[in-house]
Structure formats: C-alpha cells, structure tokens
Amino acid sequence: MRDEEGAIRPEYVARLREALEAGDAATLRTLAGSLHEADLGDLLEALDPDERPRLIELMGADFDFTALVEVDDAVREEILEELPTEAVAEGVREIDHDDAVYILEDLPQDEQTEILEQLPPPERVALARSLQYPEDSAGRFMQTEFIAVPPSWRVGHAIDYMRETAELPDRFYELYVVDGDFRLLGAVSLDRLLRTRRPTLVAELMDAERRRVRATDDQEEVARLFERYNLVAVPVVDASDRLVGVITVDDVVDVIEEEAEKDIKALGGVTGDEQLSDSVWTIARGRFNWLLVNLATAFLASSVLGLFEGELQKMVALAVLAPIVASQGGNAATQTMTVAVRALATRELRDSNARRIVMRELLVGLVNGLAFAVIAGVIAYAWFKIPDLGLVIGLAMICNLTAAALGGIMIPMIIAKFRADPAVSSGVFVTTVTDVVGFFSFLGIATLWFGLR
C-alpha cells in the first residue's frame, strides 16, 4: 500500500478508484477492509471529496469509523455532511467512546441530537454526558469503559470476573475500587493484582492516594500530569468524586501533539484550526487579522525612519545599515520569545523564578550584543571606509539585542498575566519593539555622534 517514503502508492489508489466506479464492494473490502485506522484515514485524504462517502457506504460494516479521527477536521466535516445520519449512528456505535465524542463534537447541535436518538439508551446517555463537558476538557476525551470493583472483593474474585466477563475494555492497566455510591477509593495495578494470592482483599492492595483528574480539567493540564509523573492511565472523577471514566497514555499523546501544533501555528500568527485541507478563502480569512496588525506595526516602525529623513539623505550608508540592526534584533527576540512562550505553556516559567530567567536572558542579549557589535562594526568599516560608522552600528547593535532579549521575555509574560495566549499575540509586538528600537538607536546614535563631531 505504501512506498519506501511512507506515502500511499498511486497504483493502489487507482485500483481503489476502479472498484469505487464499478461499485465493487467485495474488492473494496479486500483492498481496505483490514487497514489500520491511521492508514485508512490517509487513504480517505488521498481520495477526491465525492469518493470518500461512497467508499464508506460501499464498505458498510467493514469500514472502521475510527479512521475519521485520523483525518483533517475539514475532511471529516465534509464526509459527515454527505453521510446519512443512520450510517453515522451505526458507525459511532462500533468505536471507542472518546473517538465517538471526537467525531460528534463539531457537528451542529441538531445533527448531534438526531444521531444520538438512534443509539441505544446506555450509549446515548454516556455520549450526551461527555458532550456536555467543556471543550478540550478531560471529560471530552476520556474512556467510559473501565473496570470498577468493591473493596470487599478478594483478588481471586476480581481475576475470575475479568476472565469470565465479555463486556470489558479492550485494553486496561488497572482496576478501580469504588464504594456503593461509585466514589473512587483507590486503584490496583494489574501487575500487583496478579502477583498477590487469591484470598487477599482488594482493599489491602489499592493505592488510596492514586492521582486522579476532574472531568472538567483542561486537557493540557492532564497531559502535563502524565508527563510529570510518568503515568500510563489516570481515573476521571466528577465533582462528587464519582468515577466516570479513565484516560490512557495513547489518548494523551494525541493531546500533546494537538497542543504543540497549536503553539507552533500560533507563533507564526496562524490559527490552530487551520488545516492543509482548508479552502483558499478559509485560510486567507484566518491569516488576515494578524497580517493587518503586523501592517499597522510596520508603519509604526517605518515612521521612526521619517524622524531621521535628513540624516538618511546626507549619508546613504545609514539607510543601508539600519535594516541590519533591526533584523538582527528581530531574530534575537524571536529566539527568546520562543523559549519564553514554551516555558509559560509548560509552567516552567513561574513568578518564583521569573526574575532569574529575565536577568539571564538580559545578560544573554548583552553578551551577543557585544559580540555582534564587533562583527558588524568591522564589516561596516570595511564596507564604507568610515571608522565612526563602525562604532555607531556597534553601539546600536548592543542596544537592540539587549532590548530584544528584554522584549522577548517580558512581552509574553505580560500577555500571560492578562490571561491571553502569548503564543498568538507575542510575535507582532516583539517584532515592533525590535524594529523601533533598532531604527531609533542606530539613527539616533548616528545623529548625535556625527552631529557632535
């Protein structure tokens, strides 16, 4: 199916298209029926929009609806719009609870209701409850299938129960001990259970201090908990400490990837919802706002040049070198800003260590400023044969790289204090600071120096 680089082979897609055109369901099942959901998702994206729902309908029960979790949001929405609600309801019945929630959550409320009404009452209630939790919360991506036992059970009873009960999760790592009201008392890992003699009470094995999360906790906080304590699974409780679900590490990996992708896009002024499959108009509209802000700040930075119009006319070298100072400051600020935004996102940068980190970045800016002052000064002298010009650009380089370091760390911190996302907003303002300081310091120092001379 895939070539050496991991891409789907064109001849494979061609054979699938032939089967689609012929309505040959048997061949489609042979070609795609046993694919992993990730491979099936890639296959859907390789097909044309009108071919995707056709594939799902022809494959019927052999199509794994989990594949819809693996495709871009825009592709998934297009597919769901074309499929009848009966087919969607049947598909979500056969997949894990968290995947079903992921597929349904972006649908309009009326479509969600129509699909839920076609599900059996237990599944309908569980999905409806998860959809009521806040977006990006633990309740949205938890599994509702888990094993819960009372503290009075013995190890042998619990083992027999797991062996003889058909309706159990496909994979699980621990048992949860609950009281009569389903409040979580603790957890027992499978390895400890299997190493203990059968007559032992489960209550004697459970870890009463087991880490847990609330269903309303933000998914990023949950992911950070897994990372900090090297967890494999964590129970999810409601406001009354009743056990309502479990989150496993494979779900958290998806969350980490999603959050990282959002941060990377935000640093570039791109919305986290932008997908490769989006239309030209959707992408252009999403990028327009920050480009507009950037245009306004660019005019602000350029206005500084207007203050020194006379000096620029007298000495062409100033016009040539001024952008170099501003550009070097912008690159240095971006480095500092990237580190700061990431540290804020992971809670590594806190009030307790903020002063030390700010001073460190300030010193880094000063050291680099001194180094590049020497380099830029030598180049400017060699280029224009004006000794004083090398000194001027060197002093400006020190000023701007120091300001870049300070702006790169302080602007994200200030934005975070106002509970805004520093990844989204910092770039434009940091660039403005370095442009303004770069132009003003270089041209200001040049005006004073040559004026005094």
- pLDDT tens per residue, range 425-449: 788 889 889 999 999 999 999 998 8
CATH number for the domain running over 148-265: 3.10.580.10
**Helix H segments across 85-212?**
85-93, 97-104, 109-116, 121-132, 138-141, 155-164, 190-194, 202-205
201 beta partners? 154
State the CATH architecture for 280-452. Answer: Orthogonal Bundle (1.10)
- What's residue 322's pLDDT? 92
pTM over 0.85: no
Helix (H) / strand (E) element for 356: namely helix 351-384
62-to-52, 88, 409 alpha-carbon distances in Å = 15, 14, 53
pLDDT of 453 strictly over 60: no
Give the confidence band of 415 by pLDDT, cuts at 50, 70, 90: very high
Summary mean pLDDT of the chain: 89
CA distance 155 to 71: 43
Q: Where do the domains of the chain lie?
A: 10-133, 148-265, 280-452
Domain 10-133 has CATH 3.10.290.10: no
- Residue 218 DSSP symbol: B
Strands (E), 329-420: none
The 10s digit of each residue's pLDDT in 289-336 is 876 777 787 788 778 877 887 877 778 889 889 999 999 999 999 899
Q: Which of these, 221, 220, 141, 146, lies nearest to 178 by C-alpha position? A: 146
CA distance 174 to 146: 9
